[in-house]
Structure 1
Amino acid sequence: MTSQPAAAHAATTEDFVNNLAAVNQRIAAAASTAGREARSVRLLPVTKTIDIERLSLAIAAGVDTLGENKVQEAQSKHEAFRERFEHLRYAVIGPLQTNKAKFVAQFAHEFHALDSLKLAQTLQRRLELEDRSLEVFIQVNTSGEESKSGIAASAAPALLDGLSSLDRLTPVGLMTMAANTTDEHQIRASFSSLRETLESLQPNAPQGFKHLSMGMSGDYELAIAEGATVVRVGQGIFGARNYA
């Protein structure tokens, strides 16, 4: 059974406390069903389109990492919060053009959409200038859909090998987005494919390369059943998104 994609609109700190608790309860239940511990799954809040005022309430309720698709939006939130909330982590989870790598290098702690050695090399140079490091997930397109970013699973070994000489990048695992369908079998196939790719890479991977960033508000329970260690949830915490 998949999650309901959107929670009630959260407008107070108490609302956020309740929504976070509900998501964490579902994560714990899904993990238990899969024979796993709840703590083996990390909740990554996806904060795109959420304004500073509401984010402040969410942070007060316990949100400590902001997951953003767009670099500019992530950077603006970092600028707004860096003095008030020094503990915050920033995860860029959407595709990145090489000409914007410099911004990621300045503030991000995680990047979930690495899809080329060229981008990795650009990030390395920028991180050297900033004297920072960055955890990276290789994005794999497990659905075969052209609308989705990511490399083919067959290209992952070469990219992972190429990262071995880039000391500012710490490869920690793989990321994917499920097939765009309501068919649970197809959705789970996307997730199981990523798990199998990770398992095939681990014998030659660096220590710590063990994470699977997969599952969103509508399908994270299926992702947990297939081994997700990071689930990216936005509407399940904040409510339906307003793109206006």
Structure 2
Amino acid sequence: MESAATTPNPAGADALGAVQANIARACKIARRKEEDVTLIAVSKTHPPETIEPLLAAGHRVFGENRVQEAQGKWPALRERYPDAQVHLIGQLQSNKAEDAVQLFDCIHSLDRVSLVKALPKAFDKVGRQVPCFLQVDIGNEPQKGGCPIPELPALIKAAREREIPLAGLMCLPPAEIEPAPFFALLDKLSRNNGMDGISMGMSGDYETAIMLGATHIRVGSALFGERGGA
């Protein structure tokens, strides 16, 4: 995921317009419809006053890494923008499943059997179901989380047996390596496993991701400013 913010972007609406223009161009080249690509504005580490300009400009889909951080800022923002959607794009601990189901509109990090067991219980307790992307360890980097590719069919089967609504597959390619082959692999895995959604691409590579089939892109620094740190 993208790293901690250091420089907020005061021109949120202008940045949003620039990213939307890039999405439109990539879709045109790929002969895809713009409405088939969802822009997730990665608002993790950013305070409400930095997020609100994008909300005021009409953007409604945002991404957060941590349950606790999202709990601290999104209830108040949703009072003013009740149609805002918040996606969990960071790793989810099984003991936080209920909190996540209560707060988020989509989870992008279902990657292990313990979550497959915890989420249906949370759905029942909270009284709502949340669509989930299965996170794939596309670059064989266990430290990032994600289901190893050989184990993906079994995880999909387990999730379907427990009637978890599956939105598609998600990946984080290795840093400092050309991402296109990893994006192409996730697209292939998606097609092979009968999935519709593909969550991939960040600020530096979302146009490539769109051209290789992304339906959801997770963009942070291009909208909120440059990020630094680990």
Question: Aligned partners of 2:62 and 2:35: how far apart in 1?
Answer: 19
Partner of 1:205: none
Give TM-score, length-normalised by structure 1: 0.86
1:193 aligns with 2:185: yes
The alignment's C-alpha RMSD in Å is 1.9
Q: Contact (CA 8 Å) 1:49, 1:242: kept in 2 or not?
A: no
Q: What SS does structure 2 have at the residue aligned with 1:83?
A: helix
Partner of 1:220: 206
Q: Contact (CA 8 Å) 2:16, 2:54: kept in 1 or not?
A: no
In the alignment, structure 1 segments of 5+ residues that lack a partner are 1-5, 203-208
What displacement does 1:9 show?
4.8
Question: Aligned partners of 1:77 and 1:195: how far apart in 2?
Answer: 34
Question: Aligned partners of 1:39 and 1:241: how far apart in 2?
Answer: 28
Q: Contact (CA 8 Å) 2:111, 2:146: kept in 1 or not?
A: yes
One-letter amino acid matched to 1:220:
Y
Q: What SS does structure 2 have at the residue aligned with 1:31?
A: helix
Q: What SS does structure 1 have at the residue aligned with 2:26?
A: helix
1:19-98 aligned within 5 A:
19-98=15-94
Q: What SS does structure 1 have at the residue aligned with 2:214?
A: coil
Q: What SS does structure 2 have at the residue aligned with 1:113?
A: strand
Of residues 110, 116, 129, the one that matches 1:114 is 110
Moved segments of 4+, more than 3 Å: none
1:98-144 deviation line (CA, Å, top 9, x unaligned): 11112102111100010012212211101111101101000001111
Partner of 1:206: none
One-letter amino acid matched to 1:134:
V
Q: Contact (CA 8 Å) 1:49, 1:241: kept in 2 or not?
A: no
Question: Aligned partners of 1:52 and 1:67: how far apart in 2?
Answer: 13
Question: Aligned partners of 1:179 and 1:93: how far apart in 2?
Answer: 16
Aligned length: 225
Give TM-score, length-normalised by structure 2: 0.91
Q: Contact (CA 8 Å) 1:67, 1:93: kept in 2 or not?
A: yes
Of residues 73, 96, 101, the one that matches 1:100 is 96
Q: Contact (CA 8 Å) 2:13, 2:53: kept in 1 or not?
A: no
Q: What SS does structure 2 have at the residue aligned with 1:147?
A: helix
One-letter amino acid matched to 1:10:
N
In the alignment, structure 2 segments of 5+ residues that lack a partner are none
Q: Contact (CA 8 Å) 1:91, 1:112: kept in 2 or not?
A: yes
Question: Aligned partners of 1:18 and 1:188: how far apart in 2?
Answer: 28
